[in-house]
Amino acid sequence: MTSVWQPRPDLWSLDPAVLHLNHGSWGAVPLAAQREAARLRARSEANPAAWFRALPERVAAARTALARWAGADEAGFALVPNVSTGVTVALAAVDVPAGGRIVVTSHRYGAVRFAAERFAALRGASVVEVPVPLTSSADEVVALVSPAVSGADVVLLDQITSATASVVPVARLVDVCRSAGVPVIVDGAHGPGLIEAPVPEGADFWAGNFHKWACAPRGTAGLVVAPRWRSRTLPPAVSWSEHGTLQQRFDWQATADYVPWLAAPVALDVLAELDWPAARASVSGLVASGAELVAKAIGGDVPELAAPAPTMRLVGLPPSIRIDDKPAEEALRVRIARDAGAEVNVTVHDGRAFLRLSAHAYTGPRDFELLAARLPAVL
Ligand SMILES: Cc1ncc(COP(=O)(O)O)c(C=O)c1O
């Protein structure tokens, strides 16, 4: 592969013996943010009482930095540990009557569908899943989802899908929901770091992980709540800030480890140092050609998605490789990790199995070349 991209693995602590091509699942924290977290943790253990006394101010400063970086309305931006918590909290806040409908698409994250099912069961409502074919254009996605919006009590949309690594036309779908007067929750797990201005205008709720593409320590996510929902959006733990503002309620989640939130701004500094929007464009080109190389090597294909995620690509596995359930997905991930020395994600959509390859600023052409060389003997 030819590439002018200069990868920066020196900024991370990733094991060089492994091909790290699954950033999309768990992220990877740069050394500078790891060191800041270690420094803060040491400080907290030097005097826990003083640490917790000073915490509210520190958390507020970190929250403000993350909200500004994401271009979010600061008054509606609350910190949560992850998108799963953000979506759960949002679903708990909206009204879904008995017999009502929570609408999702067939690209939704599996655990987010479970959250929708939990609230549907609690309220005697149902989850309606709109099938959206893999290679649908933006117009087709809007045309397929729109009819389900009118009968919905709440719509849950992905910003970038997990199993299918696609950018969803969220702005258009949010407009459809708003015109129909139906609340919309946006699962922006992959938004921060992949989409400039990731918080969609007009969404009732948006939850985004800073611990994926923005490389913050794990446990760092934002929940943005539109004004009309703020007083009734409640964190999972009832604690001392129960009667405070939205931010105060979420800033203080009882005795817990707040270090990831406090160290997160340092990860954003690393992205700034990398000139991440420009670097991301190079990484995007790298993953596109890397996926083609891997597909050719294994007799697979790169599906023609209308809007692939900037730094993730699907490689369709040959039809001889069948994956019927979650254990089979995991078994293939483990086999590739063990026998090819590579971390990749394995996903299934509409009965077809894919490798989902991710790249970040530490990824270089060699990662894909080695994967392409090793995989045929492993599959
Ligand atoms: C689309 C999507 N939603 C939600 C999640 C859940 O994220 P978390 O485990 O940080 O809550 C993920 C994780 O990969 C995801 O890809």
pLDDT > 80? residue 240: yes
Q: What is the pLDDT of residues 23-67, one digit of tens each?
A: 999 999 999 999 999 999 999 999 999 999 999 999 999 999 999
pLDDT > 90? residue 5: no
Grade residue 325 by pLDDT with cuts at 50, 70 and 90.
very high
Looking at residue 269, what is its pLDDT? Answer: 98
Integer angstrom CA distances of residue 280 from 13, 203, 230, 264: 20, 26, 34, 19
Instruction: Specify whether the CB–CB gap between 362 and 8 falls below 8 A.
Output: yes
Integer angstrom CA distances of residue 194 from 233, 328, 332: 27, 29, 27
What secondary structure letter does DSSP report for 218?
S
Mean of pLDDT over the chain: 97
What is the average per-residue pLDDT within 19-25? 98
What is the average per-residue pLDDT within 199-203? 98
What secondary structure letter does DSSP report for 108?
S
pLDDT > 80? residue 3: no
State the Cα–Cα distance between residues 324 and 131, nearest whole angstrom: 19
Looking at residue 272, what is its pLDDT? Answer: 98
Looking at residue 1, what is its pLDDT? Answer: 76
- Closest-CA residue, ligand 1 atom 10, reads 82
pLDDT > 80? residue 316: yes
Domains of the chain: 9-30+275-378 (3.90.1150.10), 47-270 (3.40.640.10)
Q: What is the pLDDT of residues 145-181, one digit of tens each?
A: 999 999 999 999 999 999 999 999 999 999 999 999 9
Ligand 1 site: residues with CB under 6 angstroms? Answer: 25, 82-84, 109, 112, 158, 162, 187, 189-190, 209
Measured from the Cβ of residue 53, the count of other Cβ atoms closer than 10 Å reads 10
Question: Rounded to 5 degrees, what are φ and ψ at 57?
Answer: -65, -40
Query: Measured in angstroms, how far is the CA atom of residue 114 from the centroid of ligand 1?
Result: 12
Query: Measured in angstroms, how far is the CA atom of residue 30 from the centroid of ligand 1?
Result: 20
Looking at residue 4, what is its pLDDT? Answer: 79
Instruction: Specify whether the CB–CB gap between 218 and 257 falls below 8 A.
Output: no
